[in-house]
């Protein structure tokens, strides 16, 4: 009887000890930062630090001057399409005429032409012979618009980001050197149109500008 009672006391004591022992709590775990989440955070920070599409206020003023100062413009253009020669450009509104440099000055053939007429709204391009010494005057053919079109001084001003990086004198005119998403532009500070552009390793020149001198007749076939 005493032996049974002792055994019962021991069992009761063990149960009491186990019940009073402090519960062990598993340590909290922190999910490791994944590479993708860290990269996304870095990318967000970088984007906030360097926002895209900014044009400084003073640069914006220069680039918009042509809107109030120029209704038409004549200039001589030299670029990748012309080699070392120049094309003559007449631009008024959405109408453009340019006279490409002709290796052969004679215009005595039925297919001979001396001018390209562009309509930016209708997206048309046509070749004509207009000179007084054309043997066969008038329209020659309709051209592929994209192939015939050459960007004008106004097209170069359609930028989404721009900042001034310097000042230079070109053709005796003061210009701002402006870095844009289209390349580097040297923009005349009075009229707000480029006299020079560098883009993709190529140089474009706009010379002998005559502002507000082009008539409707100059750009109509």
Write the pLDDT tens digit of every residue in 84-109: 999 999 999 999 999 999 877 789 99
Q: Where are the alpha helices (DSSP H) in 21-133?
A: 35-49, 57-63, 66-69
| pLDDT the model gives residue 51 | 41
Res. 34: pLDDT tops 90? no
Beta carbons within 8 Å of 19's beta carbon, 6+ residues apart? none
Mean per-residue pLDDT for 48-74?
85
Q: What is the pTM of this model?
A: 0.75
Q: What digits encode the pLDDT tens for the residues 139-178?
A: 999 999 999 999 999 999 999 999 999 999 999 999 999 9
| pLDDT the model gives residue 30 | 44
Percent of the residues in the chain that have a pLDDT greater than 70, as a whole number? 76
| pLDDT the model gives residue 75 | 98
What are the C-alpha distances in Å from 150 to residues 107, 182, 209?
Answer: 23, 15, 17
Q: Which of 163, 214, 158, 169 is nearest to 196 (CA)?
A: 169
The per-residue pLDDT of the chain, averaged, comes to 84
What are the C-alpha distances in Å from 117 to residues 80, 91, 95, 150?
Answer: 20, 10, 8, 11
Separation CA 64–CA 115 (nearest Å): 30
Name the residue with higher pLDDT: 105 or 17.
Answer: 105
Res. 117: pLDDT tops 80? yes
- In the chain, the domains with their CATH numbers are 57-219 (2.50.20)
DSSP code for 110: T
């Amino acid at each position: 009887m005493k032996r049974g009672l002792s055994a019962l006391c021991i069992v009761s004591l063990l149960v009491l000890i186990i019940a009073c022992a402090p519960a062990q709590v598993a340590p909290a775990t922190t999910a490791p930062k994944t590479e993708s989440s860290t990269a996304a955070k870095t990318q967000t920070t970088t984007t906030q630090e360097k926002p895209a599409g900014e044009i400084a206020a003073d640069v914006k003023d220069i680039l918009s001057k042509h809107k109030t100062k120029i209704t038409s413009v004549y200039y001589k253009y030299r670029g990748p399409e012309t080699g070392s020669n120049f094309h003559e450009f007449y631009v008024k509104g959405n109408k453009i005429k340019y006279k490409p440099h002709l290796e052969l000055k004679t215009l005595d053939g039925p297919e001979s032409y001396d001018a390209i007429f562009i309509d930016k709204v209708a997206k048309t391009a046509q070749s004509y012979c207009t000179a007084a010494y054309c043997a066969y005057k008038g329209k020659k053919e309709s051209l592929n618009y994209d192939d015939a079109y050459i960007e004008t001084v106004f097209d170069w001003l359609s930028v989404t980001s721009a900042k001034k990086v310097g000042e230079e004198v070109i053709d005796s005119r003061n210009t701002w050197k402006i870095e844009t998403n289209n390349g580097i532009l040297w923009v005349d500070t009075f009229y707000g149109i480029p006299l020079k552009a560098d883009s993709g390793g190529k140089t474009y020149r706009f010379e002998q500008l005559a502002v507000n001198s082009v008539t409707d007749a100059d750009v109509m076939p």
